[in-house]
Amino acid sequence: MNGTLRLRIAALLWGLALAAVLVFFLFPLYWMLVTALKPRAEVTLLPPSLLPYVQFRPTLENFAAVLTERPQPILGGWVALSPFPAALLNSVLIGGTATVASVLLGTFAAYAFSRFHTRGAGDLLFFILSTRMLPPIVVVIPLFLMFTELGLRNSFWGLTTLYTTAGLPFVVWMMKGFFDEIAREYEEAAMTDGYSRLQAIWRVLLPEALPAMLATAVFVLIFAWNEFVFAQLLNPDRYSTAPIFLYSVIGYGRVEWARMAATSVMFLVPVVAFTILVRRHLLRGVTFGAVRR
């Protein structure tokens, strides 16, 4: 067997392995989308139908059922009343605000740890990381009591502050590794040319660190976007998020699989859209601090 044939066989096996991995991870998403497009009578059939227009006729009635709740006739038309758009908007605003705040505050904290020699910096970094070591269920009761006393339950800023605080340790540790890989000479040269330290950070350092900030923001947003326990406990009524609505779609007597799938598809779209927008920076940002000089 010559070398060219071996390379072709190796490439074929590699392609088959990659295809198998993609099918393994993407098939659940395909199943969810297909379920969302099925009529309710088709959802629980065995064997399941997986090919639209071949085994079943797709319909958007499940998406309409999620977006509508007892439509009321107003001025001769029909106005859909559903809490899902408001819950999705709350997720966007709370998750987006918490992500931006975490990345900005964590980036400046990471810069300080990376550039300035502070006594006990290692202990401080360990303390910051230790806040992520506790299981969330351990702090549920203290947080509930604290938020009740401070009047932060069922409020926008309460849940936003909680998600910001939860995302900060991850941002600080990630961004410190990224800043350690950026040469100090860049900002020193800028300050030599007359820039202040803040101007050097803004004009020189942050453009270099932008891919790392975007990559970190994706992970922080995913955490805030998917979080359920604290949202259910602290914001069950006002400013409730989309995961709470998704749980309420389960129904009584029987599970509304089609509506749950349609809700999941719409819940997935904003995070996927954000990830696609930053995809050019994602790989470089994730691998930026992987190799030390």
pLDDT at 288: 55
pLDDT at 163: 92
pLDDT at 291: 43
53 dihedral zone (left: phi>0; alpha: psi -120 to 50; beta):
left
DSSP string, 119-140: TTHHHHHHHHHHTTTS-GGGGH
pLDDT at 98: 93
φ and ψ at residue 231, rounded to 5 degrees:
-65, -40
Give me 61's structure tokens.
């009635």
pLDDT at 253: 60
Q: How many CA atoms lie less than 13 Å away from 105 in the CB half-sphere? A: 16
pLDDT at 285: 55
Q: Which residues pair with 56 in a beta bridge?
A: 52
Please list the residue range(s) of the chain that carry CATH number 1.10.3720.10.
84-287
Ranges of the chain whose pLDDT falls below 70: 1-3, 69-81, 251-254, 283-293
Judging by beta carbons within 10 Å of its beta carbon (0-12, 13-18, 19+), is residue 282 exposed, middle or buried?
middle
d(CA 206, CA 210): 6
The size of the chain, in residues, is: 293
What kind of fold does domain 84-287 have according to CATH?
Answer: MetI-like fold (1.10.3720)
Percentages (nearest 5) of helix, strand, coil residues in the chain: 70, 5, 25
Name the 3-class secondary structure at 143. helix
Count of beta carbons in the 10 Å neighbourhood of residue 100 = 14
pLDDT at 67: 81
Count of beta carbons in the 10 Å neighbourhood of residue 147 = 21
pLDDT at 70: 56
d(CA 100, CA 194): 30
Of 87, 77, 81, 50, the C-alpha closest to 65 is 81
pLDDT at 105: 92
d(CA 264, CA 244): 12
- Residue located via tokens 């009343």: 81
pLDDT at 290: 47
Give me 283's structure tokens.
């790989």
